[in-house]
């Protein structure tokens, strides 16, 4: 029976690290790192998520601001707001909550965000930096998964890792992070032939497909570390992951629960990204050359 990777407890550790880092940033620079979250419209889940982001930022000493725009805000106005935040020196991190209303093009908005303030890590420049081993702002959910994997103590160098799911937000950056740690990485997806057999090869199995309990116990290699990114409702309305937890736990060495696994890590990593962005920006402004592996950033040399 596998051990539980307790995301709530590990996220609290990350938040404690962020609080300490914010304290030293304030002492060095006389201001707190700033995070501005932009929400366009009234999507109820997004309202909850963005409030949580603002509140968690403030709890860590970050200057968190939530800006809300009406659902019918023209795209040009959203872009104008992003441009204003790009030019605001007190803003280190900009997060535009997705999904956006249909008349606002997501790609245009994400492209408009200053890559050095892109604490979601969704800008193509950050995806490219990550893929080429340069210091980058990395999407928060895969960053959280890497921290959970690190806490399991598994050696990634030479290990077989399988990521099920190929989204830009989770699957692809997750694969890049595992590769940077010298794992042999497979990205599997809905068209993968014999998915159970592919998964059974994995020493580290990451499920990010958005299908309730799709990964069964007999897809898990005995002793594997299993990371479940999914948040789904089963037919009874119960919150479940992409992994059939009880079955998979029988074979895994470590496994994340849902809820209480990956979920709590995401916001904690957003806060860490905000402080990392603040440090990188102030270093750049002072004309210092950004060193790879600078605190908090995923630097090439450090991985």
Give the position of tokens 């210091």: 135
Q: Which of 5, 62, 95, 112 binds ligand GUN (CB under 6 A)?
A: 95
Tell me the site size for ligand GUN, rule CB under 6 A: 6
Whether the CA torsion 44, 47, 50, 55 is positive or negative: it is: negative
125 binds ligand GUN (CB under 6 A): no
Binding range to ligand GUN, per CB under 6 A, among 9-17, 79-87, 95-103, 205-213: 95-103
The residue among 169 and 244 lying less far from ligand GUN, judged by its C-beta, is 169
Which single residue brings its beta carbon nearest to ligand GUN? 98
Binding range to ligand GUN, per CB under 6 A, among 10-18, 91-99, 192-200, 237-245: 91-99
Compute the distance between CA of residue 268 and CA of residue 270 in angstroms, rounded to an integer. 5
- Catalytic-residue membership of 97: yes
231 binds ligand GUN (CB under 6 A): no
Tallying the residues shown for the chain, one arrives at: 303
- Catalytic-residue membership of 120: yes
Q: Beta strands of the chain (E only): which ranges?
A: 3-4, 34-40, 63-69, 93-96, 160-164, 184-188, 204-207, 225-228, 232-233, 239-240, 254-255
Closest of 264, 258, 219, 257 to residue 239, by C-alpha = 258
**Catalytic residue among 21, 114, 116, 120, which?**
120
Q: Which of 92, 114, 118, 120 binds ligand GUN (CB under 6 A)?
A: 120
**Catalytic residue among 21, 92, 97, 172, which?**
97
Report whether 207 contacts 214 (CB < 8 A): yes
**Site pattern 140..179 for ligand GUN (x: CB under 6 A):** x---------------------------------------
97 binds ligand GUN (CB under 6 A): yes
- Catalytic-residue membership of 92: no
Report whether 165 contacts 139 (CB < 8 A): no
DSSP output for 259-296: SSSHHHHHHHHHHHHHHHHHHHHHHHHTTPPPPTT-TT
Compute the distance between CA of residue 161 and CA of residue 188 in angstroms, rounded to an integer. 10
98 binds ligand GUN (CB under 6 A): yes
CB of 113 to ligand GUN, least distance (A): 10
The residue among 91 and 96 lying less far from ligand GUN, judged by its C-beta, is 96
- Element containing residue 9 per DSSP (H, E): helix 7-29
The residue among 138 and 220 lying less far from ligand GUN, judged by its C-beta, is 138
> What residues act catalytically?
53, 97, 120
Q: Which residues bind ligand GUN (CB under 6 A)?
A: 95-98, 120, 140
């Amino acid at each position: 029976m596998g051990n539980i990777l307790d995301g709530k407890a590990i996220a609290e550790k990350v938040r404690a690290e962020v609080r300490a880092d914010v304290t030293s940033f304030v002492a060095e620079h006389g201001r707190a790192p700033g995070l501005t979250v932009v929400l366009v419209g009234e999507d109820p889940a997004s309202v909850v998520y963005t409030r949580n982001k603002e509140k968690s930022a403030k709890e860590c000493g970050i200057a968190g601001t939530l800006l809300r725009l009406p659902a019918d805000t023209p795209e040009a106005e959203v872009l104008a707001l992003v441009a204003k935040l790009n030019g605001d020196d007190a803003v280190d991190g900009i997060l535009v909550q997705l999904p956006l209303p249909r008349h606002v093009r997501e790609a245009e908005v994400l492209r408009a965000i200053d890559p050095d303030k892109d604490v979601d890590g969704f800008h193509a420049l950050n995806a490219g930096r990550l893929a080429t081993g340069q210091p980058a702002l990395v999407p928060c959910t895969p960053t959280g998964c890497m921290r959970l994997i690190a806490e399991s103590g598994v050696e990634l160098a030479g290990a077989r890792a399988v990521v099920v799911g190929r989204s830009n937000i989770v699957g692809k950056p997750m694969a890049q992070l595992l590769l940077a740690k010298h794992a042999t990485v497979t990205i599997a997806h809905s068209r993968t032939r014999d998915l159970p057999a592919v998964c059974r090869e994995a020493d580290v199995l990451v499920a990010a497909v958005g299908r309730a309990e799709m990964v069964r116990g007999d897809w898990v290699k005995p002793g594997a570390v299993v990371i479940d990114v999914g948040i789904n409702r089963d037919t009874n309305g119960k919150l479940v992951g992409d992994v059939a937890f009880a079955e998979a736990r029988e074979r895994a060495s470590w496994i994340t629960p849902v809820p209480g696994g990956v979920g709590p890590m995401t916001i904690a990593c957003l806060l860490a990204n905000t402080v990392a962005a603040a440090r990188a920006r102030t270093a750049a402004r002072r004309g210092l050359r950004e060193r790879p592996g600078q605190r908090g950033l995923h630097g090439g040399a450090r991985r």
